[in-house]
Amino acid sequence: MSTAEETAGGEAQPWGEVTPDAARRLLLAAVEAFAERGYHATTTRDIAGRAGMSPAALYIHYKTKEELLHRISRIGHEKAVEILRTAARTEGTPAERLADAVSSFVRWHAGGRTTAKVVQYELDSLGPDARAEILGLRRQVDAEVRGIIEEGVRSGDFDVADVRGTTLAVLSLCIDVARWFNVDGPRTPEEVGELYADLVLRMVGARGDGAVRRP
C-alpha cells in the first residue's frame, strides 16, 4: 500500500490504492464517521460533509453507504492477511515468527486504530454477500496465525492443548487494541506490539531454543 493520508486523529492511513482523489477523500471521511458515530448512525450527508463534498458527489463514486463500508472492510482485512502472511513466511523459529506476527498486527491496530475499529467491529452491518467475502478473509487471518502455532506445537517449541482456541485468544487480544489505544497514552504502538508479543509467547508456552530472547 503506497500513499498515506492523515485522519483527524493524526493517524497515517494507507489508502493509496483508492482512486480518484475524491473517492479516497470520501473513504477517509467514512472511516472517521463510522468510528465516531457507528455505521447505522452515520448518513451519506455526514460523510459527504466531512469530505467537503455534496451528497450527490458521493453517489458518483459509491452507490450506497454499505459499498463504502464494504470497501473499507475489504482493504483492511486484505492488509491484515498481508501483515500476518509476511510474518508467517519469514525465516526463524515458530516463536520468532509468532512474535513478529503479533507485534506487527498490534502495531497496525494501534497506529491505525480508527480504521481498525471500523474494519473489525462493523462486520454485522454488511449485507450477506459482502459479509461472506469478509468472513473468508477472516478465515485467512485465522489460518496464518494457527499455522504458526501448529508448527510450534509439532516442533516442541510450544505447549498448547487447544490450538484453535488459543488462535482465537491471540487474535482477540491483538484486535482489541483498536478499542483502547490512545495516541496520547504512555505507550507507543511499537511498545504495545512488543509487550503483546511477549504475552502471546507466554500464552503458547514458548520454551527451549525456540523462545525469543529479549534484551
Q: Tell me the pLDDT tens digit for each residue of 198-215.
A: 999 999 999 754 455 444
Cα 107 to Cα 76: distance, rounded to the nearest angstrom: 14
Length of the chain: 215
pLDDT class of 14 with cuts at 50, 70, 90 = low
Q: Tell me the pLDDT tens digit for each residue of 41-56.
A: 999 999 999 999 999 9
- Burial class of residue 45 (count of CB atoms within 10 Å of its CB; 0-12, 13-18, 19+): exposed
Give residue for cell 493517524.
11
∠71-189-152 over CA atoms, to 5°? Answer: 85
pLDDT for 68 beyond 80: yes
What pLDDT does 215 receive?
42
For the chain, domains (ranges, CATH) are: 4-64 (1.10.10.60), 67-210 (1.10.357.10)
Cα 143 to Cα 54: distance, rounded to the nearest angstrom: 42
Q: Report, as an integer, the average pLDDT of 92-97.
A: 96
Q: Tell me the pLDDT tens digit for each residue of 95-113.
A: 999 999 999 999 999 999 9
Task: Indicate the pTM of the whole model.
Answer: 0.86
What pLDDT does 183 receive?
86
Q: Tell me the pLDDT tens digit for each residue of 116-159.
A: 999 999 999 999 999 999 999 999 999 999 999 999 999 999 99
